[in-house]
Each structure stands twice: as structure tokens, then as C-alpha cells.
């Protein structure tokens, strides 16, 4: 018993990040799910966008943890979370968020989503309004039909198929050359990671273009819509038109912010969040 206690204590310290957040794993619907958590006070669930997953929120979460208990899961197939063989759609992601909240014993909580995660947070609040106290959507998809043309192109199934075929061809050529020059060298296939990354874009694209403004009148909780004026993926003006459909909505536009909040903009975001939710 004593050995197990000491082992668990040491493991917690090993998984501690910057003396603020912990890296943890739980099982959600038979999927090994990784998440970061830490802080104290009101429960704030953060839903990341695409790319690196929950890890992209660490710098912001460390500051938010001074005021709240934060939870940032890696969505299935992102970061360190496992994924099933099925491609996730909006409904499955919403169900995952609900099941994750149950697994960590969240009853009512605050939710914040970024980019695709903003769209997921909005969908979740529409399906489970009794769970959400307040909602924050940052540079969110789903507020309008217009998104960057390059994103539409690179997320299109035809583009994905072409890129996948090109990568396969290049890999086979490199492997043949490597085997000829160095017969005993093990040439590892990088294609699996490429396929995973491409799959992530495919899985999330339906959420990016799923406009739900006609249902925003059903959002009865207070909502904060934040946009970056220099966001070249989601037009910032969409927050104004979307806000007209929400009965209790606050809008903030950061003049010097792009699609991702970085550097000096992090304290600005944290101040907006604490002002909206309240501290502690």
C-alpha cells in the first residue's frame, strides 16, 4: 500500500507541467484519452481547434489556472488521445465531450472553444444547455459560411487523395533508393503520420462549414464571441452577425490578433475570460 502511494505520488509529479497543470489519461468510450488539468475554482472546459491539440493551449491554460480548474482534452485522434477506426463527425465529437465531462465528474461548467473547437462548443451547448453556465467561442467556425479558400481546397477529399498518392509515390521511391544504397538500413514509413494528419483535417472539416446560426436563439446561457481582426481563416465580422441571433451575447474583437492567440495576446484573452466568467 505504501509503495503504491509513493509510486502514484511520484508519477503525478512526473506528469506535472510547469507546477500548474497535470498531464493525465482516462478512458472515454473505450478510447484512451489524454487531457491536461490543473488550477482551482470554477470548472472551465477548453475545446481545442485542429493541429497540435490540447498542447497548443498550454501557455494560455497556465494563466487561466490561476483563476479556474481547467480541463483540456485531446479530442480523439489529436495529441496523445487514441482514435477509433471510424471517422468522427460532429455528433460523435459532441457525444465525446459529454462522456468526457461525465468521466471527470463535471456537472455544470463553463466551456470555451477555439476554431473548430468553438463550433463544437456551440453545438454542445445546444444539445446539453443544462450543463453550460457560460460559453466562450474564440475565432470560431460555424458563425458564417465564409472561410479561407486555401482551407477549403486543402480539406477537400480530392486534394487529400492526390496528396496521399503523391506521398506514397515519394516514399516508395526513397525506399527503393535506400535499399539499393544501404541494403541493411531500416527505412521507416512516415506515411502513417501523414495519413493521420490528413485524416484529422477531413474529420474536422464538416464541423468547420456547419453553420448553425439559425439555432443560436436557443442559446439561453451568456455567450462571449471573440474574434481576431487579423484572422485570415475566419472573417472576424461574422461575430457581429452571429451575435444578433443570441439573446445574451457579448462581442470582443482583438485588433492585433490572428486566428491563434499567441504571446502578448494571451493576457488580453485571459482578462476577457475572467471578466466574463468572474474569478475564483
Q: Helices (DSSP H) in 128-245: which residue ranges?
A: 149-154, 157-181, 191-208, 238-243
Pull the grid cell for residue 48.
Answer: 481545442
| Predicted pLDDT of residue 146 | 53
| Predicted pLDDT of residue 266 | 95
Looking only at the bridges linking them, the beta strands covering 132-138 and 68-73 are unpaired
C-alpha distances in angstroms, 253 versus 150, 187, 206, 225?
23, 49, 25, 8
Asked if residue 191 lies in contact with residue 167, where contact means CB atoms within 8 angstroms, the answer is: yes
| Cα–Cα dist 149/128, whole Å | 32
Give the three-state DSSP class for 236.
coil
Strand order in the sheet with 21-28: 16-17, 21-28, 31-39, 68-73, 42-47, 109-114, 132-138, 223-228, 249-254
> Which of the 8 DSSP states describes residue 55?
G
| Cα–Cα dist 62/254, whole Å | 21
Asked if residue 63 lies in contact with residue 264, where contact means CB atoms within 8 angstroms, the answer is: no
| Predicted pLDDT of residue 261 | 86
| Cα–Cα dist 43/133, whole Å | 10
Give the three-state DSSP class for 132.
strand
> What's the angle, vertex CA 229, arms to CA 228 and CA 234, rounded to 5?
70
| Predicted pLDDT of residue 232 | 84
pLDDT in tens, the chain (280 residues): 554 544 454 444 445 566 789 999 999 999 999 999 999 999 999 999 877 799 999 999 999 999 999 999 999 988 899 887 667 788 899 999 999 999 999 999 999 999 989 999 999 999 999 999 999 999 998 887 655 444 444 444 544 454 455 545 555 555 555 555 555 444 455 544 444 454 444 444 444 556 678 899 999 999 999 999 998 888 899 999 999 999 999 999 999 999 888 888 999 999 999 999 997 6
| Cα–Cα dist 51/14, whole Å | 25
Pull the grid cell for residue 77.
Answer: 485522434
| Predicted pLDDT of residue 195 | 47
| Cα–Cα dist 78/100, whole Å | 15
> Which of the 8 DSSP states describes residue 266?
H
| Predicted pLDDT of residue 248 | 98
Asked if residue 101 lies in contact with residue 134, where contact means CB atoms within 8 angstroms, the answer is: no
Amino acid at each position: 500500500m505504501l509503495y503504491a502511494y509513493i509510486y502514484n505520488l511520484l508519477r503525478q509529479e512526473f506528469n506535472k507541467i510547469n507546477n500548474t497543470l497535470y498531464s493525465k489519461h482516462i478512458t472515454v468510450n473505450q478510447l484512451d484519452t489524454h487531457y491536461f488539468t490543473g488550477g482551482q475554482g470554477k470548472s472551465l472546459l477548453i475545446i481545442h481547434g485542429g493541429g497540435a491539440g490540447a498542447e497548443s493551449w498550454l501557455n494560455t491554460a497556465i494563466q487561466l489556472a490561476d483563476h479556474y480548474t481547467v480541463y483540456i482534452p485531446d479530442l480523439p485522434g489529436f495529441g496523445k488521445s487514441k482514435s477509433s477506426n471510424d471517422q468522427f463527425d460532429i455528433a460523435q465529437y459532441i457525444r465525446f465531450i459529454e462522456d468526457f465531462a461525465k468521466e471527470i465528474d463535471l456537472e455544470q461548467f463553463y466551456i470555451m472553444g477555439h476554431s473548430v473547437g468553438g463550433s463544437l462548443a456551440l453545438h454542445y451547448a445546444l444539445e446539453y444547455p443544462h450543463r453550460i453556465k457560460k460559453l466562450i467561442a474564440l475565432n470560431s467556425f460555424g458563425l458564417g459560411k465564409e472561410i479561407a479558400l486555401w482551407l477549403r481546397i486543402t480539406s477537400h477529399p480530392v486534394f487529400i487523395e492526390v496528396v496521399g498518392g503523391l506521398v506514397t509515390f515519394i516514399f516508395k521511391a526513397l525506399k527503393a533508393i535506400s535499399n539499393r544504397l544501404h541494403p541493411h538500413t531500416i527505412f521507416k514509413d512516415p506515411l502513417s503520420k501523414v495519413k493521420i494528419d490528413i485524416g484529422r483535417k477531413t474529420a474536422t472539416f464538416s464541423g468547420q462549414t456547419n453553420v448553425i446560426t439559425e439555432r443560436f436563439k436557443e442559446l439561453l446561457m451568456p455567450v462571449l464571441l471573440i474574434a481576431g481582426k487579423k484572422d485570415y481563416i475566419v472573417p472576424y465580422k461574422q461575430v457581429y452577425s452571429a451575435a444578433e441571433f443570441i439573446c445574451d451575447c457579448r462581442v470582443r474583437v482583438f485588433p492585433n490578433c490572428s486566428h491563434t492567440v499567441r504571446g502578448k495576446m494571451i493576457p488580453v484573452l485571459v482578462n476577457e475570460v475572467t471578466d466574463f466568467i468572474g474569478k475564483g
